[in-house]
Amino acid sequence: MSAPVGLATDLAAKPTWRAAKNTIMTCLMLGAFVLIAIPLVAVLWSLISRGAAVAFHGFPDFFTRTIPVVSRRAGPGMGPAILGTLLCTGGATLIAVPLGVLGAIYLNEYGAGSKFARIVRFMAMVMTGVPSIVMGLFVYVMWTMRFGYSAFGGALALACLMLPIVIQATEQMLRLVPNHLREASAALGATKSRTILTVVVPAALPGIVSGALLAVARAAGETAPLLFTVGAATAYNPHLFSEANTALSVQIFGNATSSFDAAQERAWGAALTLVLLTFVVTMVARVVTGRFALKR
Amino acid sequence: MATEHPASIEAKDKPRTRSLSHAPIPEIRPSMVEVLMNAEVVFEISNLDVYYGAYKAVRGVNLAIRKNQITAFIGPSGCGKTTVLRCLNRMNDLIAGARIEGKVHYHGVDLYGADVSPTVVRRRIGMVFQKPNPFPKSIYDNIAFGPRVNGITDRRKLDEIVEKSLRSAALWDEVKDRLKSSALGMSGGQQQRLCIARTIAVEPDVVLMDEPCSALDPIATARIEELMRELKSKYTIVIVTHNMQQAARVSDFTAFFTAEVDESGQRYGQLVEYDMTGKIFSNPKDQRTENYITGRFG
Amino acid sequence: MVATREIDLSGTGGRGDRTFRWLVIGAAALVLVILGLVAVTMTGRMGPVFDRMGLDFFTSKRWSPADRFFGALPFLWGTLYTALIALVLAVPVSFGVALFVTQVATPRIRKPMIYVLDMLAVVPSVVFGLWGVLVLAGPIQHAYEHIHDAVDGIPILQSIFGGTPQGRSFMTAGVILAIMITPIITSLAREVIETTPPSDKEAAYALGATRWEMIGAAVWPHSKAGLVGATMLGLGRAMGETIAAALVIGASNGQVTLNAFAPGNSMPAVIANEWGEADDLHKSAMIGLAVTLFVITIVVNLVASAIVQRSMQRGRGKP
């Protein structure tokens, strides 16, 4: 039996207003993506075109020389700022990651259902929303006012920002560890702490590491918390606890509004350095998740 | 039909056809009875009730588990077999709201006494679970986990223990060249034998098994049953199983549990009958036991 | 015959286990301790300026450290206005991108798109600020000038776009903030959209709907609430963003105006810009601003989270 007459034409796609609207909307959605990709490209372009020249000119001067005290003076470097960023971020990591992991262990392994755990979990969420400038001022009041500017102050402020992020990410990872592993360990006579430290945490480790790295990348780029705690040194200061220090983000902020071209150039170089640093850390974090972590 | 040992029945009766009428029943000889009944009692369970919160899930269990014998818990789903098993190594402690009334005596000592530590209990009474649960570590580290928990750190001693346990679990030849590879790369049957090896690496007194073969294919199952018979000489074994034929093949004593409903409509588990396996399968005392056993062959 | 022998089942290793338990409880409690300290110390330091200004702190338009008079209204306005501009710009773009990535893009395009969004999220805010003030401010001022001329004479638009165009102004700050909050809103919107039950989408298609119609019929009703939540989360983030705003907002005090092209200031920006040379009372005033900002962002974030949570649960079929 042959098909009804005209079926082929009936079923063919027709140019209608509905079809056109669909196409327009699809184009608009794609356009939205293009719109948001443009600033990314523009920023990266500026970073590379303006920053690379400064940062890699006479390599490795920019990364090792001290910051010119007179900002009008042209030339490198940002060495002290790089050291400062490493000190502050490294210090913050050493404080926030162990404490955050331990806190998350409490929330997932000991606290399930308890009211205290629910309050802590809620407050950790609140803490992630605290503006970074508030944390900076807080550490100013608690530490800088008493002990002066130092890299440690910066590390404290960054640690306050990192802590809730590490807690949330770690708790998620611990939750993914299947319960039968805990049972197997308990059945072999391991105490709870032993089970957690030798079975649960190792199983969740890649995810925990990746979460911590993302928190580190975030902290490295922060400016506001450091403005009030670290100071504005121009020379190298490897001491964690004494005397003002500086950091890449602080330098960028300070130099951005400078009227001197030389200072602005250094700002671009510092910006490129900072972006490279955060990108690398983020990439490592994604690789770790992709290849090793427990899947949802 | 008169045969000596369940294992040899198994070997002669393959392949099975659909029209089987009777599971092989271990014959009871008088000398065997004496050996069995004179074996030392390891667990004395008296009037055991198990509660989950306010819900009385298991009621009035009285049972004596004998040394170096295999005791099987059989019965339909939800009748409390696993619950009672988990009382024997205090694994129910891990479930919020779980508690017992009545007594569980282990070699005369009250297992739920005031200064008894559950972790020490579990080092003497090991457990193998339904679904193999090796740690995401190497084969070596899986077996070494228990000894390390017990404080053994000397490398050579650990090597010895690992080899001994793997040999006892009939796994050594298959994995001796890849001890450092991940345990997760093994087949299901191998993983379960690994879990058994891991459990006996701490040299427990008792090995509890919660449906150890239900996630495995028949060949892997047969190997594990063979393993159980070998392990019997060194350990006391209690096994929960859904598979009646397995209980008949492997165990010396069988406890039949069932689920009852009380006046208020609540389901609970109860021990119906407990005796030597041969008696349970050929001449059960309780009608419910008989129904369960014959129902399988209908 | 039951044999009894001496069996010792008493515990060992309990002490280490107990210590560990207290350790993790302490670590968890640290969150509460820090938040508590933040609340207490900051409100303590606010004291002086409130003694002096009372509620005028929030209502007065004049911020004059030299006269020791601190009215924060312009900064409240600045924070709100720039965040609003940022939302107006970011929300359509974010939703569009989220819809494209979840409904239109094939898996092969999706991956690089998400890559781009992730990279955008990783760039530190100070770098955006730097770019904004050194690269964007100039050209965008030209753009403003064109718009300014275009709206000449049109009533409402004139009050918004009619002022003297400045590169560093509310508008520019809004643009930079929009760029920064888009990845966040997009990511959350994606999650919300993905909880749309596939059966609803299939039902729409089975009735012959085009993709856009399906989005309207199946995706939108389910995601509406969650998208509102995502928007509010973006709002919270925009309000709290300090550095990028500080660099491009123009740092000019005292303006409470609809004029988007005018320079102004926001709460975090004024703190960042004026802290260096502030005396104690001035600092107290700025801490007051910080606390106000804290409270506002926390409230916005909490409401947003609650909305998002509830919408995602409903989307998954839970009551």
Any idea how long chain B is?
A: 298
CA angle A269, A275, A281 (to 5 degrees): 140
Q: C199 vs A2, which has greater pLDDT? A: C199
What is the distance in angstroms between the CA of the first residue and the CA of the last residue of chain C? 60
Alpha-carbon span B201 to B203, nearest angstrom: 5
Q: A70 vs A122, which has greater pLDDT? A: A122
Report which listed range, A32-36, A92-96, C17-21, C138-142, is most confident. A92-96
On chain C, the residues whose CB falls within 8 A of the CB of B117 are 9-12, 14
* Alpha helices by DSSP H, chain A: 7-11, 17-46, 52-56, 61-64, 79-105, 115-128, 132-139, 145-147, 151-175, 179-187, 192-195, 201-220, 224-227, 248-256, 261-292
| Segment (H or E) for C69 | strand C69-70
Closest CA relative to residue C293, chosen from C245, C223, C221: C245
On chain A, the residues whose CB falls within 8 A of the CB of C95 are 32
pLDDT at B75: 92
Alpha-carbon span A58 to A37, nearest angstrom: 33
Residue C253: pLDDT over 60? yes
Q: Which of B95, B116, B137, B149 to mutate to test the interface with A (most CBs of A within 10 A)?
A: B149
Q: Is A89 on the interface with B (CB under 8 A)?
A: no
Q: Is there a contact between A217 and A209 (Cβ–Cβ < 8 Å)?
A: no
Closest CA relative to residue C244, chosen from C275, C269, C276, C207: C269
pTM: 0.84
Nearest CA in chain A to C177: A39
Residue C25: pLDDT over 90? yes
pLDDT at A295: 60
* Alpha helices by DSSP H, chain C: 14-53, 56-59, 73-99, 107-122, 125-131, 137-150, 155-161, 170-193, 198-206, 211-214, 220-240, 243-248, 267-274, 280-315
pLDDT at C246: 85
pLDDT at B160: 94
Alpha-carbon span B46 to B271, nearest angstrom: 12
Residue A147: pLDDT over 90? no
pLDDT at B13: 43
Nearest CA in chain C to A45: C131
Determine whether the interchain pair C135/A106 forms a contact, defined as Cβ–Cβ distance below 8 Å: no
**In chain C, what are the domains?**
95-315 (1.10.3720.10)
Determine whether the interchain pair C13/B119 forms a contact, defined as Cβ–Cβ distance below 8 Å: yes
The 3 state secondary structure assigned to chain B is CCCCCHHHHHHHCCCCCCCCCCCCCCCCCHHHHHHHHHCCEEEEEEEEEEEECCEEEEEEEEEEEECCCEEEEECCCCCCHHHHHHHCCCHHHHCCCEEEEEEEEECCEECCCCCCCHHHHHHHEEEECCCCCCCCCEHHHHHHHHHHHCCCCCHHHHHHHHHHHHHHCCCHHHHCCCCCCEHHHCCHHHHHHHHHHHHHCCCCCEEEEECCCCCCCHHHHHHHHHHHHHHCCCCEEEEECCCHHHHHHHCCEEEEEEEEECCCCCEEEEEEEEEEHHHHHHCCCCHHHHHHHHHCCC
Q: Which amino acid is at C297?
A: T
Nearest CA in chain A to B91: A187
Q: Is A186 on the interface with B (CB under 8 A)?
A: yes
Place of tokens 């040379």: C277
pLDDT at B25: 60
**How far A203 CA lies from chain B's nearest CA (Å)?**
7
Lowest mean pLDDT across A48-57, B55-64, B148-157, C298-307 = A48-57
**How far A37 CA lies from chain C's nearest CA (Å)?**
7
Q: Which of A109, A182, A188, A195 to mutate to test the interface with B (most CBs of B within 10 A)?
A: A188
pLDDT at A4: 60
Determine whether the interchain pair B117/C1 forms a contact, defined as Cβ–Cβ distance below 8 Å: no
How many A-B residue pairs are in contact by the CB < 8 A criterion? Answer: 62
C71: helix, coil or strand? coil
Nearest CA in chain C to A100: C27
pLDDT tens track for C257-288: 777 788 888 888 888 888 878 888 888 888 99
**Which residues, 6+ apart, have CB-to-CB distance to B220 below 8 Å?**
B187, B188, B189, B192, B213
* Residue A129 main-chain phi, psi, to 5 deg: -95, 0
> How far is residue C172 from each of residues C76, C128, C161, C240, C251, measured CA to CA in Å?
17, 12, 12, 16, 12
pLDDT at B264: 87
Extract the tokens encoding B6: 């369940």
C319: helix, coil or strand? coil
pLDDT tens track for A263-278: 888 889 899 999 999 9
**How far B149 CA lies from chain C's nearest CA (Å)?**
10
When pLDDT is averaged across residues C105-116 and rounded to a whole number, the result is 88
Determine whether the interchain pair A186/B198 forms a contact, defined as Cβ–Cβ distance below 8 Å: no
Q: Is there a contact between B204 and B162 (Cβ–Cβ < 8 Å)?
A: no
**Which residues, 6+ apart, have CB-to-CB distance to C198 below 8 Å?**
none
* pLDDT < 50: residue spans in chain B: 1-21, 297-298
Residue in A183, A188, A202 closest to B146 by CB: A188
On chain A, the residues whose CB falls within 8 A of the CB of B137 are 202
> How far is residue B277 from each of residues B5, B80, B84, B231, measured CA to CA in Å?
12, 19, 19, 18
Extract the tokens encoding C27: 């670590």
| Max intra-chain CA distance, chain C | 109
CB atoms inside a 10 Å sphere around CB A90: 17
Q: What is the DSSP letter of C63?
A: E
On chain C, the residues whose CB falls within 8 A of the CB of A48 are none
Alpha-carbon span A120 to A260, nearest angstrom: 48
pLDDT at A45: 92
**How far C18 CA lies from chain B's nearest CA (Å)?**
13
Alpha-carbon span B197 to B213, nearest angstrom: 15
**In chain B, what are the domains?**
39-295 (3.40.50.300)
Q: What is the DSSP string of A130-147?
A: S-HHHHHHHHIIIIIHHH
Confidence band for A5, pLDDT divided at 50, 70 and 90:
low
Nearest CA in chain C to A159: C34
pLDDT at B16: 37
The region that residue C224 occupies, defined by phi over 0 for left and psi between -120 and 50 for alpha, beta otherwise, is alpha
Place of tokens 């119609």: C213
Alpha-carbon span A264 to C127, nearest angstrom: 12
**Average model confidence (pLDDT) for chain C?**
85
pLDDT at C45: 87
Query: What radius of gyration, in Å, describes the C-alpha atoms of chain C?
Result: 26
pLDDT at A12: 66
On chain A, the residues whose CB falls within 8 A of the CB of B121 are 189
When pLDDT is averaged across residues A111-140 and rounded to a whole number, the result is 91
Alpha-carbon span B233 to B230, nearest angstrom: 6
* Alpha helices by DSSP H, C194-274: 198-206, 211-214, 220-240, 243-248, 267-274
Q: Which amino acid is at C11?
A: G
Alpha-carbon span C237 to C187, nearest angstrom: 14
**Which residues, 6+ apart, have CB-to-CB distance to A50 below 8 Å?**
A265, A268
Using CB atoms within 10 Å of the CB of residue B4, give its burial: 0 to 12 exposed, 13 to 18 middle, 19+ buried. exposed
pLDDT at C5: 45
Any idea how long chain C is?
A: 319
Place of tokens 């996630």: B215
A161: helix, coil or strand? helix
CA angle B232, B234, B237 (to 5 degrees): 45
Question: What is the spatial order of strands in the sheet that B253-261 belongs to?
Answer: B109-110, B98-106, B41-52, B55-66, B267-276, B253-261, B70-74, B236-240, B206-210, B125-128
Q: Is there a contact between A241 and B176 (Cβ–Cβ < 8 Å)?
A: no
pLDDT at B164: 93
Please give the distance of CA A242 from its chain centroid, rounded to a whole number.
26
C64: helix, coil or strand? strand
Please give the distance of CA A178 from its chain centroid, rounded to a whole number.
28
Binding partners of C (≥3 Cβ pairs within 8 A): A, B
Q: What is the DSSP letter of A59?
A: T
> How far is residue C40 from each of residues A116, A134, C190, C289, measured CA to CA in Å?
21, 13, 38, 15
Nearest CA in chain B to C9: B116
When pLDDT is averaged across residues A243-256 and rounded to a whole number, the result is 87
On chain C, the residues whose CB falls within 8 A of the CB of B124 are 9
On chain C, the residues whose CB falls within 8 A of the CB of A35 are 93
Nearest CA in chain B to C13: B119
pLDDT at B67: 93
Q: Which amino acid is at C95?
A: F
What is the distance in angstroms between the CA of the first residue and the CA of the last residue of chain A? 53
